Amino acid sequence: MTRTQVGIVGAGPAGLLLSHLLHLRGIESVVLESRPRGHVEHRQRAGMLEQGTVDVLRAAGVGDRMDRVGLVHHGIELRFAGERHRIDFPSLAGGRAVMIYAQTEIVKDLVARRLADAGQVLFEAEALVLDGLTTGTPTIRYRHEGREHTLACDVIAACDGFHGLGRATLEALPEAGTHRFEREYPFAWLGILADVAPSCDELIYARHERGFALHSMRSATVSRLYLQVPPDAGLADWPDDRIWDELAARFEDGGGWELTHGPVTEKGITPMRSFVAAPMRHGRLFLAGDAAHIVPPTGAKGLNLAVADVTLLASALARWLRDGDETGIDGYSDTALRRVWRAEHFSHLMTTMLHVDPAADPFDHQLALSQLRYIVSSAAAAATVAENYVGLSVV
């Protein structure tokens, strides 16, 4: 048996940042990650950082590479019915902007910093059982290098994602009183990474009668694009040429704008769901990030919510473990969930407004077009999108 103050399951953005923020507050932790380091550092996912997330990473001393190579964006483009409209962030959202910097790069920066600080991050270490959650010494039983071990903690933070052990453990404990709130969507996203310069300076969100498309990017030479596909679509259905043709069709603006094609280096299909598990705490087990909530990626909130959760949790745990003050941990779940539900609503709104549900009746299609027209013609409506997109400081 080994011992630490905070046992963290999962070395995604949530678990790694929590470990680093606790270290900055003099709290020791051990991070257990079931996958190899290379897998975790190269798993393509999100890439849009709210101003608040940028501020947290800078304040924690892990924002230098982000500031060197990240792309600051001051707006997005909405495209629909052959029209193009820009939503300007600074004028609508108090001068704030967003940063394009892939979560893979944040993970690499955090792993490097934890290891440089002699932090304990164990890769290929799978947590098997979380026990003693309402005792003074919860434990994590895990498998590493072919043997089983037990880690005794003061606190366990489950940062182990949607399919992780943390929430599953709570859902198997009636006394934990975990409620699930969820919604499935009748479509998925096919995402590609391509070695080609982006065909735009800012992100383009397009609603076309053929479906949704998003043009994002990772750098001046790497594009990141997404297509709405049926929920049961398989990669075999989507050879590269078909992807590029469909993207070009959905971004068509009738004004000569062209999508530049290039070699596709990564391809994946992600289901679309909204999900919240509440409360985000039971005894000495705390949930953070995707372990507690999932948002459809249309609002680019997943990574930002994970950062917000662990920023709150690190402060609450430090106050308790260092100063004996329990107000932070007692208020963690309610405070985190207020921000989560704001992001759930915004992500749902962006998803239903920009995607074409094949089963929806024409009335819904007209509502979506009307909502888009309202946003691009009313400063008040545009401000709603802008301030949610750059991130609300929800308390």
Residues marked active site are found at 73, 205, 297, 301, 389
Q: Is 107 in the site for ligand PHB (CB under 6 A)?
A: no
Touching ligand PHB, residues 212-241 (CB under 6 A): 214, 216, 224
Nearest to 206 by CA among 150, 154, 248: 248
Residue by residue, DSSP assigns 210-245 as: TEEEEEEESSSS-EEEEEEE-TT--GGG--HHHHHH
For residues 123 and 238, which CB has a smaller minimum distance to ligand APR in the complex?
Answer: 123
Looking at residues 8 to 67 of the shown chain, list those that interact with ligand PHB (rule: CB under 6 A). Answer: 46-48
Residue (298 or 311) nearer to ligand PHB, CB: 298
282 touches, from ligand APR, ligand PHB, none (C-beta below 5 to 8 Å by class): none
C-alpha pair distances (Å), 125 with each of 73, 145, 157:
38, 8, 15
161: left (phi over 0), alpha (psi -120 to 50) or beta: left
SS3 of 31-65: the string is EECCCCHHHHHHCCCCCEECHHHHHHHHHCCCCHH
d(CA 349, CA 309): 22
Provide the mask over 6-25, with x wherever binding to ligand APR is found by CB under 6 A and - wherever it is not: ---xxxxxxx----------
User: What single-letter DSSP state applies at residue 315?
Assistant: H
- Shortest CB 41 distance to ligand APR, Å: 10
**Residues 308/312/314/320 CA torsion (nearest 10 deg):** -170
Cβ proximity to ligand PHB: between 20 and 224 the closer is: 224
Q: Which is nearer to ligand PHB, 34 or 298 (CB)?
A: 298
Bridge-based pairing state of the strands 29-32 and 6-9: parallel
Residue whose CB is less far from ligand PHB, 119 or 296: 296
Pairs from 323-331 (Cβ < 8 Å, separation ≥ 24) = 329/281, 329/286
Window 124-183: residues binding ligand APR (CB under 6 A): 126-127, 159-161, 164-165
Given 52, 297, 328, 391, the residue binding ligand PHB (CB under 6 A): 297
Region 19-78 residues binding ligand APR, contact defined as CB under 6 A: 32-35, 40, 45-46
Give the residues lining the site for ligand APR (CB under 6 A).
Answer: 9-15, 32-35, 40, 45-46, 103, 126-127, 159-161, 164-165, 289-290, 302-303, 306
User: Which residues of the chain form contacts with ligand PHB (CB under 6 A)?
Assistant: 46-48, 203, 214, 216, 224, 297-298, 300
